Structure 1
């Protein structure tokens, strides 16, 4: 660092992560050890669409006195002019790189590799997640030095917050002219949560000089987890090992596991029955089997009111929520769920005949719509609220008789027939048809819009026939995933002359 210039540190942190505390620690560290220090902050948008940027500049007091005046310190970081960037999450490290705050000739980048998904990532119709490997690669190439590890996990293990781990990692880099003891004295002067903060600080300090590791999620593999106790589950695994190619087995095992959890072993057996049909299709190959298996498992485990109720009443969920909010032994945790079932969702949960009658009825339909118009808050941490959802989750045993099951089952069979028809023409086109299932997800309005886009796409596939290129269908699917309202899909269909009636392929 240039002795004639201030030390410049930018901190990118989300609300609740202690970014302000971290900035204050750094200012106190400097002021207690012979530096003039200043911090400013620019708040981001609420929740997960932007982080607050805290900016700290420090200048040696002795040098300022020799120069005969008080240094002028900046209020905001400038691209290409930052010594240290601290990022509380991997995407924030990417944002810092994008803004030009990280440069290879100057900047030490310290970042946590965990992800807290942004609003844009969460609301995407398809998989909207940013590629963590790309973020890591860009950050590595942009920084002079890149220190990274999962700081959220370290903070959790030490009963503290991520700001303490970041402070320890900053100390461990040795980039600032202060000793470890001076850093620790800063935490002690704060006087709040000192023991936990020092533990997290020490863990962060130790990790800062550890060899860089690849933090990417490992590729899924077939890892045996012991012999299942249920003979029906053992039979499913034996069937997968016997009847399907080795390369496809990890996906099929995960699919079967999901469907046993969702319904029962018989439902997972139906899943394998369908996939055995896929293996027998003319033109089918291993790629088609894997893609169909992946998306078939997702579709068969569709979200309905019964599934939502089941997940909200599981013991693991109460444990997870309690862990996230750090409930102490002497504290009571209340969990409030806002439930707003629409008439269609209620009809879908009922036996098929009764559900169809209610949907077409007069005054009974109006009574239900009026009763559910405003929604209801259900406290699942209370006995009454828990029993209400637990009873609803018990309808799982009768799910196969519900109106929703009949509708989804018919759509799945139609989808499989379309894949088979495409496989006879072009195996790659069949893969693209299989992947169109990505449009159908969620429940309520989300499921309705996705299903509408899916049916529009399938109609285009039917009318185009053999003339439809795999790349064209992929382009249409990407357009549908980019816009749940279907406007981009409609524009793409019109541009590709697939929006109007087509002549049947010869």
Structure 2
């Protein structure tokens, strides 16, 4: 790296931050520090795409003083407007994925760049939209951060900022100062914060936390020991870092709840569900009790204690085939997926979730609204004909779903979507009224259809369990493809139907469970089912059918 004191080149800094994280403020602070020290400074920004598909890139160049030209040419340097791959001295990323993007784009390089990145994750749209688990492995990103930089400084700077009541820009600014990559004293950085005049106390506290974090070793990726044989080395999810006392306490509390689920299930539920807890303790294997209690609470909250009885009846049918498995894996998975399916998302459930006090309190806390400060929450809704018909009584819902004029009316009223103010009288009352249809849900078209589908699914997996418990477990897992609403839900249902058809065809094959698991992953690979169709076509090829039967 060229010496910054030689005056031959500027100090180059790229900041990758998302909206609301103070990336512009961070860039302004850096400029203020440089100008106070006599440097020529320039700050530009290139806006990213909304909805977390890319961060805004703020770019700062600082040219050292005392190197004016004496040959009648311009005395001020011409600074670049954009970062050049391979020519960036410091990269600051507000999130681990953005650090990966910086490396991918060539901003961070092992021969030059000091990479300062927060290890927290804010999942991108691609990760969120994936039908399966679309999250990028944090260890892969962390490993790239070490390999793709000359020096890596990493910590959860978001958490440090929140603990100080500030935003991440302040803790990242502290990390920049603590890295000693810029030729300025700590006091110069702190003076820039004071000069801003806004939230000085909280910003200085976050700055100090970030400064101290920069002195600690960067977290390393967690990897499990290599297995025997020639298999790949598995990667554990997580970061190697000091144990947070609060996280340790939460883990201990969870362990106590798991133990109570085995020894005293009734202590984990309210009085109205004590009867259900006693049934779980008396009639279900111990390893599955914690999941069952979660399912009881979920189904009872969704539709009442009688619905929780129906839930336990369904799981009990599956548990009869799990007697030889000490881990009760089939029962545990069935308890999870039956509860998820029984508590499907309809308009009643969505309305109820949106007006919950806990949800509104969470929005207030996230927005950092002061006590007594007014807060408006606006929902952007796009109701479809199917969702309306599904909420109506079964007979009426079927007629409405077939009605051309009603479909046209709904399209005309909602084609641009709707904005509902949850915190306003009209908006809250409308959502409350929809939520109050909960007692009528068992008569709705969607409820009738879902209960029939659940029972048919259970019949199929129980028939498979009689001869192949592993295949039955994979049939349980096929419920994962049923998610979303509208077109997404329709595609999921089509894929689900295909998977169950394949499960019937696979019954009796030695590789039935493994093959169905592979097909399920194919179904989760995309929304339109193209990958699943290709996988099914390959399975139907003559070479695939040559697998020996039992």
Shared fold (TM-score, shorter chain, > 0.5): yes
Q: What is the distance in 1 between the residues matched to 2:436 and 2:196? A: 51
Q: Which has the higher contact order (CA 8 A, sep 6+)?
A: 1
Query: Using a 3 Å threshold, how does the CA distance of structure 1 residues 113 and 262 change in structure 2: closer, same or farther?
Result: farther
Q: What is the distance in 2 between the residues matched to 1:22 and 1:437? A: 46
Query: Using a 3 Å threshold, how does the CA distance of structure 1 residues 491 and 229 change in structure 2: closer, same or farther?
Result: closer
Q: Does the residue aligned with 1:482 lie in a helix, a strand or coil?
A: coil
Q: What is the distance in 2 between the residues matched to 1:42 and 1:361? A: 49
Given the alignment of the two structures, is residue 489 of structure 1 paired with residue 532 of structure 2, yes or no? yes
Report the counterpart of residue 46 of structure 2 in structure 1.
42
Residues 89 and 111 in structure 1, CA contact (< 8 A), matched pair in contact too: yes
Query: 1:51: Cα distance to partner?
Result: 1.6
Residues 36 and 60 in structure 1, CA contact (< 8 A), matched pair in contact too: yes
Q: Does the residue aligned with 1:377 lie in a helix, a strand or coil?
A: strand
Query: 1:490: Cα distance to partner?
Result: 2.1
Q: Does the residue aligned with 1:122 lie in a helix, a strand or coil?
A: helix
Report the counterpart of residue 166 of structure 1 in structure 2.
172
Given the alignment of the two structures, is residue 224 of structure 1 paired with residue 266 of structure 2, yes or no? no
Deviations 1:338-358 (A, max 9, x none): 333323222221232332344
Written as runs of structure 1 = structure 2, the 5 A alignment for 1:24-423 is: 24-62=28-66, 75-104=81-110, 106-210=112-216, 221-224=254-257, 227-228=267-268, 230-281=270-321, 285=325, 286-329=328-371, 331-360=373-402, 375-423=417-465
Residues 394 and 444 in structure 2, CA contact (< 8 A), matched pair in contact too: yes
Q: Does the residue aligned with 2:485 lie in a helix, a strand or coil?
A: coil
Query: 1:88: Cα distance to partner?
Result: 0.7
Report the counterpart of residue 232 of structure 2 in structure 1.
none
Q: What is the distance in 2 between the residues matched to 1:57 and 1:38? A: 5
Q: Say which is worse superposed, 63-72 or 7-16, in terms of deviation.
A: 63-72
Deviations 1:374-426 (A, max 9, x none): 65432221222212211211222232232211211121122222322333443
Report the counterpart of residue 476 of structure 1 in structure 2.
519
Q: What is the distance in 2 between the residues matched to 1:223 and 1:278? A: 27
Query: 1:181: Cα distance to partner?
Result: 0.9
Q: Does the residue aligned with 2:508 lie in a helix, a strand or coil?
A: helix
- TM-score under structure 1 normalisation? 0.86
Residues 302 and 442 in structure 1, CA contact (< 8 A), matched pair in contact too: no
Q: Does the residue aligned with 1:37 lie in a helix, a strand or coil?
A: strand
Q: What is the distance in 1 between the residues matched to 2:334 and 2:106? A: 43
Query: 1:92: Cα distance to partner?
Result: 0.7
Q: What is the distance in 1 between the residues matched to 2:174 and 2:39? A: 20
Q: What is the distance in 1 between the residues matched to 2:17 and 2:448? A: 47
Q: Does the residue aligned with 1:153 lie in a helix, a strand or coil?
A: helix
Query: 1:238: Cα distance to partner?
Result: 4.6
Q: What is the distance in 1 between the residues matched to 2:503 and 2:541? A: 9
Query: 1:231: Cα distance to partner?
Result: 2.0
Q: What is the distance in 2 between the residues matched to 1:211 and 1:180? A: 20
Query: 1:120: Cα distance to partner?
Result: 0.8
Q: What is the distance in 1 between the residues matched to 2:519 and 2:534? A: 10
Q: What is the distance in 2 between the residues matched to 1:180 and 1:451? A: 59
Structure 2 residue ranges without an equivalent (≥5): 220-237, 241-246, 261-266
- TM-score under structure 2 normalisation? 0.80
Deviations 1:49-102 (A, max 9, x none): 112222333343236679997666555445555432211112112222333444
Q: What is the distance in 1 between the residues matched to 2:378 and 2:346? A: 19
Structure 1 residue ranges without an equivalent (≥5): none
Residues 80 and 100 in structure 1, CA contact (< 8 A), matched pair in contact too: yes
Q: What is the distance in 2 between the residues matched to 1:208 and 1:312? A: 40
Residues 269 and 277 in structure 2, CA contact (< 8 A), matched pair in contact too: no
